Amino acid sequence: MKKALLLFLFLFSLVGFAQTDNYFHFDSLPGQQEYTVNEPSIQVLTNWKYHKGDDMRWADSAFDDSSWNFVAPNLNFDSLAPGTFETIGWFRLHLIVDTTLLNKTLAFLITQSGASEVYLDGKLIHSFGKIDQKNLANEEGYDPQEVPMPIRFEKSRIHVIAIRYAYATAVDDYKKNLVDAVGFDFKFAEMRDAIVYKFLTSNTITAIFIFYFTFFIALSFLHFAFFIFYRENKSNLYYSIFAGAFGTFFLSILIARHFMIPEFVRSVNHYASMLSDFYIPSLIAMLYSIFYKKLPKIFWIWVVLFAIDFIMNILYKESKIFGILLYSIFIIESLRIIIAAIYKKLEGAWILGSGIITTIGFFAVFFVLATLGIKSHFNTAGWGGFFLGILVIYVTLSIPLSMTIYLARDFAKTSKNLSKKLIEVEELSAKSLEQEKEKQKILETQNEVLEVQVKERTSEIEEQKKLIEEKNKDITDSINYAKRIQEAILPEQSSLTNIFTNSFVLFKPKDIVSGDFYWFTEHKDKKIVVAADCTGHGVPGALMSMIGCNILNKIILDEGVTQPDLILDRLNEEVRTALKQRENASETRDGMDIAIITISGSELQFAGAQRPLYIITGNELKEIKANKFSIGGIQEEKRTFTNHILTLQKNDSLYLSSDGYADQFGGESGKKLMTKNFKELLLKIQNDSMKAQKQFLGDSIENWRGSREQVDDILVIGIKI
């Protein structure tokens, strides 16, 4: 990526007005050039000549470097031939110095990556960092960042500057995309001009970047506060992320400028470049939320792409092609959103569009130029640099300014609407007050009539209340009588203990009578237990339970059928016949879910219609599943039930139940108890007696239900072998 170039363009433009033209700068053009400081001059005989490797003889001014190549000292890897620079090399520059500059203290300014030693006519005059070719790991990079260094040209007018330059990890850093170029930039100036230049640029840039950081961070906190208090407008959240990441980017640049350790600066710049993976998607999200009201699916593709770019940056595997493609799509998509919004004449499109188009267009030009390798001389001095600096400041602030104007306009519009609404409310209040006064007058005149009507209606209501109470008593008495009939039909719960010594029946009807019923008997040396859940509860369910009990008596006691699946087959047929469900015109869909077990010795047979059997051996619960269809109802095909045969062990626990226990709502969140929790309760009480188990299950469901209504009849039968 060419982010570094854009950064330098920005920095130089900001201090352009403060720059001085009074310095000598040596670039990559070969040939003879002349640079002046006021009137005196330094003439370049040959521009920078370079040789790969290390030989201290190359510092000697008399050394013959005619065979060396011209190479720009900034060592741009994108344009260098492979292998030109690896870890160390020498640069030499031949100068003719005007006699008026001899024995005069000048200044040279250098910025660099890596470490260097500066030799004048074979004499070491300055070193920056530490060069250790014997052990590359000991190299210490140092960047003086254009701090003025003294230099004196003595005696002869012809001089040679030799720079020994080293960067042990240059190739690896380039491959990791930490640097596009290494090397150094070197120039002369009069000492006074150099000090003024350094002071002005350093302080100006520091002040500007502190302003940018505080400005964008303040915007971030402000818009995040807007979002906290009005979360429906998510554009404030996205803009807060954009401003926070963008402000942090300027802070990282400021930190990098105040450290002279190149390795640290490269790391800071690398992580700073990753902030674009946050502020660019958030800017896109802001545009979508304003003009589309919600994020389209394509936005999440954006998130994935920037996440990939972020991960590649972390792994130092960033692809320049991928980055260029990603940022190009960003520019196109941003412009598309804005232009589409302007075309559709959406509210505020021109305001936001002016800022975003200006910023994106400006940086897009320099991004394209940087991508194409075209240099943009943006460090113009004087009023030209001042104008360009103002232009860049305007461009970088155009998005927040346009956003602020948009929000101010939106706030003003909202305020106007509220004012109109307040006026309308006042008018309606006045009308309502007048109407209320009229009503009071009408009420005053009608009080006597109303009092008479109220007395008459009260008398009627009292009569109706007495009638309803009488009807309710009759109905309640009838249901209570039905309860006695149902209890008479159902077997005594105590008789179960005659069949199974360790057993219990937990029976809790939702209403007075129940749609759940139990049935058990001992017939032909076989012990039969039934748990059934009829359609509905209350009176309809009770009627179905009576039908079920009568049919079971007929099938088992009269006909002698004891095999569970055959009992269910017969029960299904009898219920359909009793309810006339075989007729095509029948609308009766009533039926029942039921579980039946038959025990003979250690053999257990089980069949079920929607209701399972739970067997607990030791601490292991096994569920024997029932068939996935019920008894009765409208049936398109014949139903055949499955008979399961198992061998019981001593102390096995058997449980049959309706769905009322597991379906009860309760607990802190008001959710169903669920079958999973019911099974856990059964496992929890395995070491208790059957009597204690019944008490525990009863107390547990009441505690779970709390003050909530019981939703269904509850039936649980427990047997220990």
Domain check: are 179 and 266 in the same one? no
Are residues 247 and 220 in contact, defined by beta-carbon separation less than 8 angstroms?
Answer: yes
Round to whole Å and give the CA distance between 242 and 283: 6
Domain check: are 363 and 229 in the same one? yes
- Residue-wise pLDDT for 454-513, tens only, equals 777 777 777 777 777 777 676 666 677 667 777 777 888 778 888 998 999 999 998 888
Domain check: are 531 and 398 in the same one? no
pLDDT band at 52 (very low <50, low <70, confident <90, very high): very high
Round to whole Å and give the CA distance between 407 and 419: 18
Round to whole Å and give the CA distance between 56 and 162: 10
Q: Residue 16: is its pLDDT beyond 60?
A: no
Domain check: are 184 and 206 in the same one? no
Higher-pLDDT residue of 275 and 586 is 275
Among 19-23, 273-277, 606-610, the least confident range: 19-23
CA 70: distance to chain centroid?
Answer: 54
> What is the average per-residue pLDDT within 518-535?
91
Q: Is 484 helix (H, G, I), strand (E, B) or coil?
A: helix
CA 491: distance to chain centroid?
Answer: 61
Domain check: are 168 and 208 in the same one? no
421 lies in a domain? no
| DSSP secondary structure letter of residue 140 | B
Are residues 209 and 252 in contact, defined by beta-carbon separation less than 8 angstroms?
Answer: no
Predicted local distance difference test score (pLDDT) of residue 481? 64
In the chain, the percentage of residues whose pLDDT exceeds 70 is 84
- Residue-wise pLDDT for 576-603, tens only, equals 888 888 766 556 778 899 999 999 989 9
Round to whole Å and give the CA distance between 629 and 145: 84
Domain final residue, candidates 409, 433, 468: 409
Are residues 155 and 102 in contact, defined by beta-carbon separation less than 8 angstroms?
Answer: yes
Domain check: are 112 and 75 in the same one? yes
Round to whole Å and give the CA distance between 426 and 604: 81
Round to whole Å and give the CA distance between 386 and 674: 75
CATH number, domain of 400, equals 1.20.1070
29 lies in a domain? yes
Beta carbons within 8 Å of 488's beta carbon, 6+ residues apart: none
Closest CA to 269 of 206, 179, 209, 378: 179
Q: Which domain holds residue 133?
A: 24-189
Domain check: are 159 and 241 in the same one? no
pLDDT band at 565 (very low <50, low <70, confident <90, very high): very high
Rounded (10°) angle between helices 235-257 and 191-229: 160
> What is the average per-residue pLDDT within 287-316?
80
497 lies in a domain? yes
394 lies in a domain? yes
Q: Residue 377: is its pLDDT beyond 80?
A: no
Q: Residue 172: is its pLDDT beyond 70?
A: yes
116 lies in a domain? yes
Are residues 361 and 332 in contact, defined by beta-carbon separation less than 8 angstroms?
Answer: no
Question: On the CB side of 221, how many CA atoms lie within 13 Å of its CA?
Answer: 6
Name residue 623's beta-bridge partners.
614
614 lies in a domain? yes
Domain final residue, candidates 379, 409, 439: 409
pLDDT band at 700 (very low <50, low <70, confident <90, very high): very high
pLDDT band at 519 (very low <50, low <70, confident <90, very high): very high
Q: Residue 235: is its pLDDT beyond 60?
A: yes
DSSP secondary structure, 176-216, as one string: TTS-SB-SEEEEEEEHHHHHHHHHHHHHHHHHHHHHHHHHH
Q: How many CB atoms lie within 10 A of CB 60?
A: 16
pTM of the complete model beyond 0.85: no
- Give the count of domains, the chain: 3
Beta carbons within 8 Å of 684's beta carbon, 6+ residues apart: none
Q: What is the mean pLDDT of the chain?
A: 80
pLDDT band at 106 (very low <50, low <70, confident <90, very high): confident
Domain final residue, candidates 156, 189, 222: 189
Domain check: are 600 and 693 in the same one? yes
Exposed, middle or buried: residue 418 (CB in 10 Å: 0-12, 13-18, 19+)?
exposed
CATH number, domain of 678, equals 3.60.40.10
441 lies in a domain? no
CA angle 116, 120, 126 (to 5 degrees): 40
19 lies in a domain? no
Q: How many CB atoms lie within 10 A of CB 126?
A: 16
Domain check: are 517 and 618 in the same one? yes
Predicted local distance difference test score (pLDDT) of residue 83? 87
DSSP secondary structure, 647-701, as one string: E--TT-EEEEE-STTTT-EETTTTEE--HHHHHHHHHHTTTS-HHHHHHHHHHHH
Strands (DSSP E) contained in 229-278 are none
Most confidently modeled of 207-216, 438-447, 470-479? 207-216
> What is the average per-residue pLDDT within 517-544?
87
Domain check: are 230 and 174 in the same one? no
Q: Residue 12: is its pLDDT beyond 70?
A: no
Predicted local distance difference test score (pLDDT) of residue 389? 62
CATH number, domain of 178, equals 2.60.120.260
Domain check: are 581 and 688 in the same one? yes
CB burial of 677-713 (b: ≥16 within 10 Å; e: otherwise) equals: ebbebbeebeeeebeebbeebbebbeebbeeeebebb
Domain check: are 104 and 57 in the same one? yes
Predicted local distance difference test score (pLDDT) of residue 209? 79
Question: On the CB side of 288, how many CA atoms lie within 13 Å of its CA?
Answer: 18
Round to whole Å and give the CA distance between 282 and 289: 10
Round to whole Å and give the CA distance between 660 and 508: 9
Pairing status of strand 613-617 against strand 603-609: unpaired
Are residues 31 and 45 in contact, defined by beta-carbon separation less than 8 angstroms?
Answer: no
Q: What are 186's two structure tokens?
A: 């070197």
Exposed, middle or buried: residue 308 (CB in 10 Å: 0-12, 13-18, 19+)?
middle
Higher-pLDDT residue of 377 and 480 is 480
Higher-pLDDT residue of 436 and 375 is 436
